[in-house]
Amino acid sequence: MRSMIRLMILALGLSGFCLSSASAATCRDPAGFAAFIAAIKSEAAAQGISSGAIAALDGVAYSPSILAKDHGQRVFQQSFEQFSARMISPNRLRRGSTLLKTYASALSRIEAAYGVPGPVIVALWGLETDFGADSGGEATLQALATLAFDCRRTEKFQAELLDALRLVERGDLAPAAMRGAWAGELGQTQFMPSSYLKYAVDFNGNGRRDLIHDPLDALASTANYLKAHGWQAGAGWEPGQPNFAVIQKWNESEVYAKTVAAFATKLAATL
């Protein structure tokens, strides 16, 4: 199941500004895309991003299919009962329970460091990418550049594109490895580049923050995100309890947040 994270946020996004009047006049017109990329490169250089990282934009092409997915998205309108019944399938629950036990030692260390219990982290892992099985196959730089070129949320996606270049510069991911969801989310729990920069951690100590290929980095980074947004160690996560509001910082949709909470509770019951 491809990530549904951020759908509510994206649907409410406001259109921003383009980098120049020229790009503003031609946004959505593929003929202006090369000039737009040139402007992005200039802006990246002005912000101190290295030339090596900026070179990751060489050859990035406009993607009509990405734009079609963005314009065609529909915020889910299912009830909690409908959505959770589909998302918390018996097979997903069994798989999540198995992974809780497989990663028990690591999840215990993650909880000690960040205060977030394993069932919550594994619930997000399962709902976002089916435990890493489907984190998306879109070229991230192409997706972000296309969305940044569009007139609807230009400022937002320009900022995410620049942060993606910073990930390259920092050495977390090679450009070719940056593949994820159509809106630019990366990794096994689907971080936008800005969140990747802020909250990704190198939990296995190999010198890189790899949320795509390394489950331990992905799980610990998810816990770090939740802690940074106010997670209270030892407090509950169901609706009405202190940590439910933190889950909604992950995804503002109440139906989604309630599904995360319900899934985590079901997983905890299997321990």
Catalytic residues: 128
- The Cα 269–Cα 119 span in angstroms is 9
137 CA to centre of own chain: 13
Nearest one of 47, 38, 14 to 145, comparing CA atoms: 38
Backbone angles phi and psi of 191, in degrees to 5: -100, 135
3-state secondary structure 206-230: CCCCCCCCCHHHHHHHHHHHHHHCC
- The Cα 210–Cα 208 span in angstroms is 6
Burial class (CB in 10 A: 0-12, 13-18, 19+), 25: exposed
